[in-house]
Amino acid sequence: MGVVETKPVCPWTLLASQGKNHDTYIVKTLDEEHSCQPKRKLRQCSSTFISKQIGDILVADPDLKASAIQEIITTKYELGVKKMTAYRAKSKAKKVIIGDYRKQYLRLRDYCLELQKRNPNTTTKIEVYPEPNPSSDTRVFKRVYICLGPLKEGFKACKREILGLDGCFLKGPYPGQLLTDVGVDPNNGIYPLAYAVVEAETSESWRWFLHCLGDDLDLDSNCNFTFISDRQKGLMPAMARVYPHAEHRFCMRHIYENMTGTYKGAVIKDLVWKSATRTTSEEFDEAMEELKREDAGAHKYLMDIGPKHWSRSHFSGRAQCDMLLNNVCETSNSKLLDGRDKPIITCLEYVRQYLMRRIVTVQKVIAKSDGPLTPTVSKIFERVKRSANRYNATWNGGDRFQVMDAYLDKQAVDLRTKTCTCRRWELTGMPCKHAVACIWDMSLNSVEVGDPEDWVNPVYKLDTWRQVYSFKVEPITRSVSWPKSECPTTLLPPHHKKQPGRPKKKRTKSANEVQEPSVKRKRNKSAIDKEQPMVSKGKLSRAGTSKTCKKCGKQGHNITTCGKPRKGKQSVGTQGGTQGDGTQSGGSQLID
């Protein structure tokens, strides 16, 4: 019987004896520890395999980085992943999750039919570019407009004739703008009504959007509806043409931002906002005179715009709303930020799902609320009643009162017409502090007038709020179950030439946002050494900083210009020249 022994190369040892039939061995000793084998090289895997493994992870974390994908696959499967392979895998997985940008235009008509089927009274309109060849079986997409039926009914139940208009750009491979119009609900919150994807914010696209909106809300060219916007160039002429008699308010924040480049200072700012918030023409004229004495140019700038567009003193009370800012649209656009870089149907579906979730969220708040008024309005009206304690009302025996406080602030109130000379009751539909003092005075005179809350416009009632959100957006089914469009032509994506460089994802910031960054200001080290003032990281400036070369470690230049003579300077060896590092050199002479 022979003995087989491995060579003593590493601690791994195997001692075995041969059996009788010479075909088997009996292990006597085994040491499994290895030190001689080299590390096994990880096998590379394809992007298709990786995309199938990270699909569920991308749903939860859409911003998953390529390095994280490499770590996940290497840890779980012991496979090597190149960085570009991880990028391709992420792109393939996203295409499966959110859809293909080009192919989704083919199903856009089917998606609109599905919306109309699941949500009755829904309006959807698709417009295409004119085709020179009528016999062509394809059409190029131009615009789509959607107004869900439940939202349409809910807006009519709001009883507030005011809408904010705004647009934001799409961030996918195809150009476009997402237009939205947002109303104000009884709790002074946002109530999105309709949305559209158009080619750009032009006068033509805004006219088309306003016409679609008018068809849904039964608005004609002579209507006196109230709109508020950011003074977009295309929207202003479109509004003047479609609804010439409508009340068109401009966002005061955007007006002031446009002024700050020329008219600066805290005093100007205070006077501008003072003029905008005045509710009577007398107070407005007084504030504007102060502004004129301070800066005649700022006064002329505002008067050229027209006070009827930005001052409460010139607003009508039809909308029961005195807001000066277009924050309703800004708030709505911020909620849709993550959906604007997705394919067309996925983007529209993101908006619809947000609207569906929002109704549920508001219903939960309504269920916890009590009292005659909505929660936000209740807080506002409590402040009004506290202010009314300072006023004394004198009754004339009929419907009118004279109200005065200790500072001789006199106002006249008419309870029959529900008006006050301060015009706040007329603008908001909520009794002002002067009117509340009159209601209390009538109660002291044994006149049955009820509580002050009974005099508030029904638009602010909790029952109205509950009715507005009783209309629910219905879910839709998967794409294979959508009805097929009978249109004989195929819808193609809009023509677009890809621009060089990385596509723009962020909006252009205003001058105020650049000059007044939200980041904490820090003092630059070089600025301390040179006793210079602090610089802000938010400003796009390198003033007060010094470049350091990564090659030689000296200051005054970078690695690109290291060792090269600077422009306008003499080279080394000349009188008063400069060295390669940018420092001044002494004079030199030639020695024989």
Query: Over the stretch 430-468, which tens digit does the pLDDT of each residue have?
Result: 999 999 999 999 888 878 888 999 999 999 999 999 999
pLDDT for 550 equals 78
- Which residues does residue 250 pair with via DSSP β-bridges, in sequence order? 229
| pLDDT at position 580 over 60 | no
Of 144 and 520, more confident = 144
Chain length of the chain: 592
How confident is the model over 155-209, as pLDDT tens digits?
999 989 999 999 999 988 888 999 999 999 999 999 999 999 999 999 999 999 9
pLDDT for 588 equals 34
Three-state SS at 491: strand
**Banded model confidence at residue 482, pLDDT cuts 50, 70, 90:** very high
pLDDT for 505 equals 66
User: pTM of the predicted model, to two decimals?
Assistant: 0.76
**Banded model confidence at residue 218, pLDDT cuts 50, 70, 90:** very high
pLDDT for 576 equals 40
**Cα-only R_g, the chain:** 36
pLDDT for 185 equals 95
Q: Of 11, 4, 6, 16, which is closest to residue 37 (Cα–Cα)?
A: 11
Average pLDDT over residues 540-566: 73
Q: Of 185, 182, 202, 204, which is closest to residue 193 (Cα–Cα)?
A: 182
pLDDT for 575 equals 38
pLDDT for 509 equals 66
CB atoms within 10 A of CB 26: 10
Structure tokens given for 3: 């003995």
- Which residue type sits at 505? K
- Which residues does residue 249 pair with via DSSP β-bridges, in sequence order? 228
**Banded model confidence at residue 37, pLDDT cuts 50, 70, 90:** low
Handedness of CA 54, 59, 61, 64 (dihedral sign): positive
Torsion of CA 60, 65, 70, 71, to 10 degrees: -70
Query: How much of the chain exceeds pLDDT 90, in percent?
Result: 57
Structure tokens given for 227: 């709109």
Cα separation of 410 and 400, whole Å?
13
Three-state SS at 397: coil
Report which secondary-structure segment, H or E, holds 330.
Answer: helix 327-335
| pLDDT at position 214 over 80 | yes
pLDDT for 325 equals 94
| pLDDT at position 241 over 50 | yes
**Most confident region among 293-307, 388-402, 553-567 by mean pLDDT:** 293-307
pLDDT for 41 equals 53
Of the listed ranges 82-96, 126-140, 466-480, the one predicted with least confidence: 82-96
DSSP state of 461: B
pLDDT for 18 equals 78
pLDDT for 49 equals 87
Cα separation of 509 and 538, whole Å?
12
Average pLDDT over residues 242-265: 92
How confident is the model over 272-299, as pLDDT tens digits?
999 999 999 999 999 999 999 999 999 9
| pLDDT at position 20 over 90 | no
DSSP state of 485: P
Q: Of 261, 263, 235, which is closest to residue 249 (Cα–Cα)?
A: 235
| pLDDT at position 572 over 50 | no
How confident is the model over 358-383, as pLDDT tens digits?
999 999 999 999 999 999 999 999 99
Cα separation of 432 and 280, whole Å?
14
Residue 175 and residue 200 in contact, taking contact as beta carbons nearer than 8 Å:
yes
Q: Of 60, 126, 113, which is closest to residue 479 (Cα–Cα)?
A: 113
**Banded model confidence at residue 473, pLDDT cuts 50, 70, 90:** very high
**Banded model confidence at residue 532, pLDDT cuts 50, 70, 90:** very low
- Which residues does residue 522 pair with via DSSP β-bridges, in sequence order? 535
Handedness of CA 87, 92, 93, 94 (dihedral sign): positive
pLDDT for 544 equals 56
Structure tokens given for 305: 């715009």
Query: How much of the chain exceeds pLDDT 70, in percent?
Result: 83
- Which residue type sits at 119? N
Q: Rounded to 5 degrees, what are φ and ψ at 72?
A: -65, -50
pLDDT for 567 equals 53
Q: In sequence order, what DSSP letters do the residues of 51-80 get, joined into one string? A: HHHSHHHHHH-TT--HHHHHHHHHHHH-EE
Measured at the alpha carbon of residue 494, what is the angle toward residues 490 and 498, in degrees to the nearest 5?
135
Q: Rounded to 5 degrees, what are φ and ψ at 415?
A: -75, -20
Average pLDDT over residues 51-58: 84
Mean pLDDT of the chain: 84
Three-state SS at 240: helix
| pLDDT at position 512 over 50 | yes
